[in-house]
Amino acid sequence: MTVTKAPFGTMPDGRDVFEFTIENDNGMKVSVLSLGATLRSIILPDKNGNEQDILLGFDTVADYLEKSSYQGAAVGPCANRIGGGKFVIDEQTFDVIKNETDQNGNGVTCLHSGGEFSFEVWQSIIADSDSVEFCYTSPDGLNGFPGEMKVQIVYKLGQNNDLHISYKAVCDRKTPINLTNHAYFNLAGYASGNILSHVLQLNCSQITPVDAFSIPTGELMSVAGTAFDFTEPKQIGKDINNDEEQLKLTGGYDHNFVIDAADGTLQKCAYVYAENSGIVMNVYTTMPGVQFYAGNFLKGETGKSGTPMEHRSGFCLETQYYPDSPNKPSFPNCIFDAGQEFISETVYTFETMAD
């Protein structure tokens, strides 16, 4: 196992951004940036022995800052959406940034906490021969979130092509904590076109249906008999354009799936397979939900090596507390007391199948 550190670029204010590359003895390589603790590349051989980078992303700091769509980034303090950009804790209302607007430009929802964790430079150290540790302190009140939060994220690559992301956070005030990673995967390689022929299985028999602003209604909806049924392996494109209300509201899959076996320990939530590369990914997490987002908002932005990020050319599986949990008492609780530690882990494992 080796870890190397190289300059990646500089922030507009001159701060350095570094790229760390962890390589295991099979030649699998994972690289992570100190900007947003961003997963930038995952490289492994396909079934023909050609190296594939299976993550969408960019080649420069400026691109990560300007056209990111949260590519590979750590997200927090509270991932996904908060309805109305507000929540109440102990009878005190907190107004947070409303960075999603309606057609008149009025802020309506808070998405990914306004990007605070995703676009900052994190402190970084090579923690071991297989891991890199990133730390960030979120100032009290930034984007409206209460308290100073100290966050640590460790990326560790194992010899079984297993990538572990471990999250820890603690705040000095009671606050929502919901950390995730926003990698866009394309298991046939980032330049291979859309992901509609990928086969997906989600160990999830319910979703949290949403309203027109992608805020969960608070109900749980069974996937049985709907386009959302991935309990058996199914191509992502098979039902994505079905005439179903939940798909039309979001322009394709962009929903939180409720992980059936969730119990706070690592449980498998997803299996994904791309036949044209033979690459398989399994996802395990300690979190209760996973946002399956089919890259519906990608519009051809230029990514790595000048490759356009076409509509649905990458998919995300963001492990998380359910969106808008701070306003949904029936959902698993994401409000942590002052001094109470948030701990979670997500593991992605990879293998390549021969024909």
Q: Does residue 182 have an active-site annotation?
A: yes
Least gap, CB of 34 to ligand BGC (angstroms)? 21
Of 19, 120, 133, 318, the catalytic one is 318
d(CA 38, CA 309): 17
Say which residues have a Cβ less than 8 Å from residue 271's Cβ, sequence separation at least 6. 200, 201, 233, 280, 281, 282, 283
Sequence letter at residue 294: A
Least gap, CB of 75 to ligand BGC (angstroms)? 8
Tell me if 34 contacts ligand BGC by CB under 6 A: no
d(CA 176, CA 116): 14
d(CA 29, CA 31): 7
Tell me if 293 contacts ligand BGC by CB under 6 A: yes
Nearer to ligand BGC, 176 or 278 (CB): 176
Tell me if 318 contacts ligand BGC by CB under 6 A: yes
- In a 13 Å sphere around the CA of 328, the CA atoms on its Cβ side amount to 22
Tell me if 291 contacts ligand BGC by CB under 6 A: yes
Tell me if 254 contacts ligand BGC by CB under 6 A: yes
216 three-state secondary structure: strand
Nearer to ligand BGC, 94 or 297 (CB): 297
Least gap, CB of 276 to ligand BGC (angstroms)? 25
Tell me if 297 contacts ligand BGC by CB under 6 A: yes
d(CA 208, CA 257): 7
| Chain center to CA of 271 | 16
CB atoms within 10 A of CB 29: 18
Residues 90-129 touching ligand BGC, rule: CB under 6 A, are 111-112
Instruction: Pick the piece of the chain touching ligand BGC (CB under 6 A) from 135-143, 163-171, 291-299, 307-315.
Output: 291-299
Residues 194-253 touching ligand BGC, rule: CB under 6 A, are 214
Binding site for ligand BGC (CB under 6 A): 69-70, 80, 111-112, 214, 254, 291, 293, 297, 318
